[in-house]
Amino acid sequence: MIKKTWMKNSTCILLASLFGCGGSSEGNVSNEPVVKSDVVLDDSITLVAEKAVVDGSVSASDLMNITGNNQELTEGTFTSSNSSNFGTQSKRSIHQGGFGTDSVCGLRGEIIKVTNLNDSGAGSLRDAINQKGPRTIVFEVSGAIKLESRLDIDSPFVTIAGQTAPAPGISLYHETLRVNTHDVCMQHLRVRLGDSDHNLNSMSSSEASDADAVVIRGGRDSEGTYNVVLDNMSVSWSVDEAISVFGGVSNLTIRDSIIAEPLRYNAHGKDHAYCLLIRSESEKVSLIGNLFGHCQRRSPRMDGGTLQYVNNFIYNPGEYAVSVHDLPIDVTMVGNVMDFPDDSANRYAGGANELFTSRSPDAKVYFYDNKSFEDRPEHDARMQGEPVVVQSVPKVWEGNVTALTATKVEESIGDWVGAFPRHRDEVDARIIEGVRTHTGTYLDSQMDDGGYVYVEENQRSLTLPENPQNDDDGDGTSNLVEWLQSYTDAIE
pLDDT of 25 over the 80 cut = no
Q: What is the mean pLDDT of residues 461-474?
A: 94
**Binning pLDDT at 50, 70 and 90, where does residue 64 land?**
low
For 210-234, what is the mean pLDDT?
A: 94
- Cα dist. 301→226, 321, 446 in Å? 19, 8, 24
pLDDT of residue 374: 80
pLDDT-derived band at 401, boundaries 50, 70, 90: low
3-class secondary structure, 411: helix
d(CA 212, CA 178): 9
Considering all CA atoms of the chain, what is the largest pairwise distance in Å, rounded to the nearest integer?
64
Spatial CA neighbour of 308 closest among 325, 289, 292: 289
Which residue did the predictor score with more confidence, 364 or 85? 364
Q: Is the predicted pLDDT of residue 211 greater than 50, yes or no?
A: yes
pLDDT at 382 over 70: no
pLDDT of residue 83: 39
Question: Which of 165-169, 181-185, 281-285, 434-438 is predicted least confidently?
Answer: 281-285
pLDDT at residue 250 greater than cutoff 90:
yes
- The pLDDT tens digits for 236-246 are 999 999 999 99
pLDDT tens by residue, 96-124: 788 999 899 999 999 999 999 999 999 99
Q: Looking at residue 357, what DSSP letter applies?
A: E
Least confident stretch, 22-36, 38-52, 191-205, 247-261 = 38-52
pLDDT value of residue 209: 78
pLDDT higher at 484 or 49: 484
Distance CA 156, CA 149 (A): 20
Distance CA 257, CA 190 (A): 10
DSSP string, 250-279: EEEEEES-EEE---SBSTT-SB--EEEEE-
Residue 452 in this model has a pLDDT that exceeds 80: yes
What is the Cα–Cα distance from 89 to 438, expressed in whole angstroms?
Answer: 28
When the pLDDT of each residue in the chain is averaged and rounded to a whole number, the result is 82
Contact 443, 261 (CB under 8 A): yes
Return d(Cα 11, Cα 480) in angstroms, integer. Answer: 15
- Residue 323 to residue 335: CA distance in whole angstroms: 17
Rounded to an integer, the average pLDDT of 253-260 is 96
End-to-end C-alpha distance for the chain, whole angstroms:
7
pLDDT tens readout for residues 134-184: 999 999 999 999 999 999 999 999 999 999 999 999 999 999 999 999 999
* pLDDT over 90 (residue 348): no
d(CA 6, CA 15): 10
Contact indicator for 274, 298 with CB cutoff of 8 Å: yes
What integer pLDDT is reported at residue 145 of this predicted model?
98
Q: What are phi and psi for residue 91, nearest 5 degrees?
A: -60, -40
Which pLDDT score is estimated for 388? 81
Q: Is the pLDDT of residue 487 over 90?
A: yes
pLDDT at residue 210 in the model: 81
Cβ atoms 237, 263 nearer than 8 A:
yes
Lowest mean pLDDT among 32-36, 106-110, 186-190, 463-467: 32-36
3-state SS assignment for residue 484: helix
How far, in Å, CA of 92 to CA of 480, rounded?
Answer: 19
**Banded model confidence at residue 91, pLDDT cuts 50, 70, 90:** very low
